[in-house]
Amino acid sequence: MKNTVIYARQSLDKDKQKNSTNVQKTVCVEYAHHNDWIVHKFYNEGEKSARINSIEERPVISKLMYDAEQGEISRLIVYKRDRLARNVQQYLQIIRRLLDAKVEIHFAADNEPPLQTGPTGEFVEILLAGLAQQEGENIHRRQMQTRVYLAKNGDWCGGSPPYGYTSSEGTIKIVREKAEVVKIIFQEFIACWSEEKNITEIIKAMKEHPELKEVNFGKERILKIISQPLYKGVLIQRLQGVDYQAPNIKTELRIWDDDEIWNEANRRLKITCPDMEWLEVKEPYQALLEQKIKCGMCQQKLNDMKILKRQKVYYKCPDCTNRVPIVEFDQLVIDAILNHLKKMAQSHVEEVKKVLQNRFLHLPSKKKKQLEDGKLKLEQDLKKKMKQLTTDSSAIHSIQNLVREYKDKFAEHESLLNQCYHLEQAIQNITHFENLDKLTFEHFSYDDKLGILNLLEWVVCGESTVYLRYNDKKEKGDKDGRENEST
């Protein structure tokens, strides 16, 4: 007997879908009963993000895949694809592991197309997973827009508050004991400061104070405290590299009644440390191909090589002199994959269009048919009532009601026709793949680029030639059934 299991994961937008896992479970159980299957186990991930958490950070899906690989699962029912993952790379990894374990995968939602298999199927799955990932990123974008709105209006937008404060339910307040430590840091900095001393010497002298010995802050922490404007009531919050300053002074968050001590400490700090940029956390460029690039001379994996300013500049072979600049090479590979993706898209237009129509037009089309049937019935009822009107004057009231109902039904039908038209146009535009020509390396976020690279098994970088080996397309003559492409 095949063991059938259900997997569910709480939607991130839990305020709108408080019973999300219960709804998923109910739909999946109905799907199982409709197919005469017995459900043996329910895997409930609860409230775990499938966008930012790795598979290893999601214990329930990890346990499910382990059980599948142990032969404990033969059939998996999931509400929709995005419950498994909102990240293309993760989604394909999960699907491949389950299929390798001989697990049937079924999606229970009405408008969710069945799992696509084969060379064309994998491309379609990448497309559908990409839509789920985009939806997840849209949710994240809306949450970030909410945080930006709060920050612009001077409200606390979340995150860890500066030292001396605590946050709760969207607000921050002073922790008096820690605020006293902040005062000591400022006072000791002014007392120990001298133009002849460097910052290390000043902080070393400050730490002689018994209160500062106890907290044992490092140099960077102390300097961040001294430069923190919130201690004088100025709330500045950084989101995605942009600073948002509250329009009004937060008097309830001031450490002192006036700004004299803060201003004097920062005046002296600028003299000692004129270049304070090092206090800001700068994200270095993240190499994309560390796990996928091989040396064409000796077949070793190329590692990223770090040089000055903590920047990753080269992929370098550990055994020979082969090395390539990271940013330029990543860009070359991404552009090559986009060209490959366009070729695939153009060769499978009809399959892609069919899947998109099934996913996005199935329910509107079903509703449109119901409305058309309703309109037809109302028209027939109206004709009957009109005939009765010649012999029964009281039928006029029934006719008026039917006319109103017909108008409502007609308006709803017209609205749905308009919706279906726009969906058809959108699908038509998507399947023209015109935007692929306009996409470049700079259009994508780091996560987007990783998703694109999921098409790639590995890259071989030779002395003058680069070979890309893809996961997604069978090519006649290649013993592993996968395409080799050079650039």
Higher pLDDT, 76 or 283: 76
Give the structural domain span for 338.
Answer: 293-347+455-486
**pLDDT(478) > 70:** no
Domain end residue (candidates: 279, 311, 338): 279
CATH for 158: 3.90.1750.20
Query: Same structural domain for residues 343 and 353?
Result: no
Query: Same structural domain for residues 482 and 343?
Result: yes
Which of 44-53, 86-95, 434-443, 456-465 comes out lowest in average pLDDT? 434-443
- Tell me, yes or no, whether 263 lies in a domain: yes
**pLDDT(234) > 80:** yes
Domains held by the chain: number: 4
CATH for 112: 3.40.50.1390
- Tell me, yes or no, whether 398 lies in a domain: yes
Q: What is the pLDDT of residue 102?
A: 92
pLDDT band at 441 (very low <50, low <70, confident <90, very high): low
Query: Same structural domain for residues 334 and 481?
Result: yes
Residues 362-399: tens digit of each pLDDT: 777 777 777 777 777 777 776 776 776 666 666 677 77
- Tell me, yes or no, whether 450 lies in a domain: no
Which of 40-49, 305-314, 452-461 comes out lowest in average pLDDT? 305-314
242: β partners: 239
Query: Same structural domain for residues 94 and 11?
Result: yes
Query: Same structural domain for residues 128 and 272?
Result: no
> For the residues 440-467, what does the mean pLDDT come to?
75
> Which pair of tokens denotes residue 442?
């700079």
Asked if residue 95 lies in contact with residue 84, where contact means CB atoms within 8 angstroms, the answer is yes
Which of 56-60, 193-197, 259-263, 434-438 comes out lowest in average pLDDT? 434-438
Asked if residue 114 lies in contact with residue 77, where contact means CB atoms within 8 angstroms, the answer is no
Query: Same structural domain for residues 48 and 197?
Result: no
**pLDDT(125) > 70:** no
> Which pair of tokens denotes residue 234?
């100025």
Higher pLDDT, 477 or 28: 28
Query: Same structural domain for residues 338 and 361?
Result: no
Residues 161-194: tens digit of each pLDDT: 999 999 887 788 999 999 999 999 999 999 999 9
- Tell me, yes or no, whether 208 lies in a domain: yes
- Tell me, yes or no, whether 142 lies in a domain: no
Report the predicted TM-score, pTM, of the whole model to 2 decimal places. 0.41
Asked if residue 259 lies in contact with residue 167, where contact means CB atoms within 8 angstroms, the answer is no
Cα 418 from Cα 403, distance rounded (Å): 22
Query: Same structural domain for residues 357 and 333?
Result: no
pLDDT band at 6 (very low <50, low <70, confident <90, very high): very high
- Tell me, yes or no, whether 176 lies in a domain: yes
**pLDDT(306) > 90:** no
> Which pair of tokens denotes residue 414?
């017209």
- Tell me, yes or no, whether 443 lies in a domain: no
Query: Same structural domain for residues 33 and 128?
Result: yes
pLDDT band at 310 (very low <50, low <70, confident <90, very high): very low
**pLDDT(282) > 70:** no
Q: What is the pLDDT of residue 192?
A: 93
Domain end residue (candidates: 78, 113, 137): 137
- Tell me, yes or no, whether 112 lies in a domain: yes
Strands across the sheet containing 456-461 = 293-295, 456-461, 466-470, 484-486
Which of 101-110, 128-137, 217-226, 259-268 comes out lowest in average pLDDT? 128-137
